[in-house]
Amino acid sequence: MGLDYFTAFYIFAQITYNMEEFDEFDDFRDKQSTIGDDGSRVWVYPKKPNGKLYNYRKLTSVVLLAVLFGLPFIKLNGDPFVLFNFIERKFIIFGVMFYPQDFHLFVLSMIAFIVFVVLFTVIFGRIFCGWICPQTIFMEFLYRPIEYWIEGNYSQQRKLDQAPLDFNKFWRKGLKHLIFYLISFVTAHFFLAYITGIDHVKEIIIDGPDTHLAGFIGMIVFSGVHYFVFAKLREQVCIIICPYGRLQGVLLDRNSIVVSYDYKRGEPRGKYNPLEDRNDKGKGDCIECGSCQAVCPTGIDIRNGTQLECINCTACIDACNSVMRRVKKPEGLIRYASERSIADKTKLKFNIRILFYSVILAGLLILIAFLFSIRTDIESTILRQKGTMYQEYDSLHYSNIYMIQVINKTREALPVELKLDEPENGEIKMIGDPLVVEKGQVGEAQFLVLIKKRDVKKSNTEVEFKVMSNGKEMDEIKSTFVGPNSLDKK
């Protein structure tokens, strides 16, 4: 048998997961629920979930989807509220503009975010995947409900897939994939809006593809990838592709709170018989109904313990709770719990690892707050014009020529003036028009500095500039003023 795509990925997943874990468990660890014995894909047909947690997740998804599709329309002083224009290296996050010069702030914020996610995962496991991750939200609350609506519940979907192609199958599959593609196409427009802004996307729509060929090709490619992910790849993204999923093996420990099966209470499992007393028969609370597995979007059995494939979607909690209610047993046979709390009946402990991550996170947040506090509205550079020496401006003055470059990080045009702070009796003469830098732009100008000959006492004199705008000091820059070398010998 050749090594196909899924088997290769599975081997990779095993290597990147904690190998020691694999040795300890039974044979379910040796194969993946979505890979058959011959290496082919096993399609997952999860039963439509239902229950309290599912309703909370639905509500969360509606809010997050509204935010995702609504944010590009929000503007602040004519600029997008959020923009990730990595092509022009311009980022706006919640109204704050970031330029290449602020890259350290951006990188630090990203690192802080990653540390936060790691810390959160150590304590709460993969809860992000089940509740917030766009992959889960799009799949479970947009694409999957459409599939249930057109093809029916899991058993009807399975039957439809197995049936020969007839008119019924043709229209159902055709309609589903058409809607899937349309959603992907619309989503691609919104993702592009996060990169280039909603106005640019509107332009592409109004002007047509021929005038914005690059943007149009980008959208077609993105819609294709998006469609492929949700129509075909699905849970494989969470199981074998997502790097965050791969990290679970090293992030989770026995204290992490994850979706867990209470094996102490559930085992030994046994079929339900309303006429028997399960305690007398030595049976646990699990009635082997399989409902938890039937609703699982990654096709696993949570009763086998915490698994790499589990995205903590809580569908099995809802399913099992509904079964427990029907057999008049307490809910929570499957629940959010740590392995330790189930095994030892203990509560979450604040361990060294959590302390370590918390300290790093706090340090990063303080550093970012400090860097934000010293972030200036403009960034300016003053350099003496390359390759020039001093000039005798007139009989009384020496002059040097300089170049100023100003980045305006504000949301309005800034007139820029220069003052010579040191030496006090020097003079500045701008060359050309007064410098006005448009918002978000870089402005440049040349100027002369004149210093009286009698005040130039050596070949290199320190000069200090104040960059002003509307009478307000914006920046302070030091440079040197070059005079004749002969002055050093005196």
Q: Which residues bind to ligand SF4, rule: CB under 6 A?
A: 259, 261, 266, 286-292, 295-298, 300, 302-303, 310-316, 319-320, 323, 333-334
- Residue whose token pair is 């870089």: 442
At 192 the three-state DSSP class reads: helix
Of 242 and 360, CB closest to ligand SF4: 242
Q: How far is the CB of 235 from ligand SF4 (least distance, A)?
A: 8
φ, ψ of residue 244 to 5 degrees: the values are -65, -40
Of 139 and 286, CB closest to ligand SF4: 286
Q: How far is the CB of 310 from ligand SF4 (least distance, A)?
A: 3
Of 61 and 408, CB closest to ligand SF4: 61
State the DSSP H helix or E strand holding residue 404, giving kind and residue range, or none if neither: strand 397-408
User: Cα 153 to chain center, whole Å?
Assistant: 32
Q: How far is the CB of 261 from ligand SF4 (least distance, A)?
A: 6
- C-alpha–C-alpha distance, residues 376 and 109, integer Å: 18
Q: Hey, which bits of 171-328 come out as E strands?
A: 257-261
Of 157 and 314, CB closest to ligand SF4: 314
Strands 435-437 and 427-431, how do they pair? unpaired
Pinpoint the alpha helices (H) of 32-102: 52-70
Q: How far is the CB of 317 from ligand SF4 (least distance, A)?
A: 7
Instruction: Say if CB 450 and CB 399 are below 8 A apart.
Output: yes
Residues in the chain: 490
Q: How far is the CB of 51 from ligand SF4 (least distance, A)?
A: 11
Q: How far is the CB of 333 from ligand SF4 (least distance, A)?
A: 5
Of 97 and 300, CB closest to ligand SF4: 300
Q: How far is the CB of 207 from ligand SF4 (least distance, A)?
A: 45
CA dihedral of 462, 435, 445, 473, whole degrees rounded to 10: 20
Reported as half-sphere exposure (CB side, CA atoms, 13 A), residue 315 has a value of 25
At 338 the three-state DSSP class reads: strand
Of 198 and 238, CB closest to ligand SF4: 238
Query: Residue 466 has which token pair?
Result: 């104040």
